[in-house]
Amino acid sequence: MSIKHWPEMERPREKLLHQGAATLSDAELLAIFLRTGIPGKSAVDLSRELLGNFGSLRHLLNADRKTFCQAAGLGNAKYALLQAVLEMGKRHHWQQLEHGNALTSPGITIDFLQSRLRDYRYEVFACLFLDTRHHVISFREIFRGTIDSSSVYPREVVQMALSENAAAVIFSHNHPSGDSQPSQADIQITRKLQSALQLVDIRVLDHIVIGDGKNHSFAEQGLI
């Protein structure tokens, strides 16, 4: 049966408009994105099949172009639309953070860092540069690869912070494994960076490790 013949409150679009997006299942949200199904399958049926084939909504959203476009009901047009939607989400998080205070809005800060770092398949070390009122000046991805004392160079971080006229910084990096527990190498490089920045009166406010669904704050753990 076509979705248009379903009871009104069972149709994904109408359900979203009346009850809010949070009430929809992954399949229902994906069905709204797809708009139409394929012969013999409604948009919801196709969405359920796609989620089963990809394993999860996150895996579908992170699929490379070739894998995505090979799936039934998808293609280049849907891929381009998806990338635009994902990029708008990232920019939304950035604009919220840009106009707020990184310390008084920890949830917004975490949301932004997750949107930027969580889905990399390799480690990325990044920094939020802040002014004296802890408003964000800029965000920069600094290093890629395994994070340790040989790959993160304090002198370069200090130079960047000075060039941004930063008064404080928040470091962050992702763990592609999904386990956000800081490693000994994470702790060592953070202390090394903290010592280097102290020499030029720039405070390290936190180092947030982004995992899969869970994050760790050095400040909350008393590591800074």
The predicted structure's pLDDT at residue 107: 77
Average pLDDT over residues 45-70: 92
* pLDDT band of 9, cuts 50, 70, 90: low
β-bridge mates for residue 126, sequence order? 141, 172
Average pLDDT over residues 22-51: 90
Average pLDDT over residues 82-104: 78
- Structure confidence by residue, pLDDT tens digits, 20-30: 988 999 999 99
Average pLDDT of the chain to the nearest whole number: 87
The predicted structure's pLDDT at residue 103: 63
Structural domains of the chain, ranges and CATH numbers in brackets: 12-74 (no CATH), 90-217 (3.40.140.10)
The predicted structure's pLDDT at residue 109: 86
- Structure confidence by residue, pLDDT tens digits, 181-192: 999 989 999 999
Does this model's pTM top 0.85? My answer is no
Least confident window among 65-79, 81-95, 161-175: 81-95
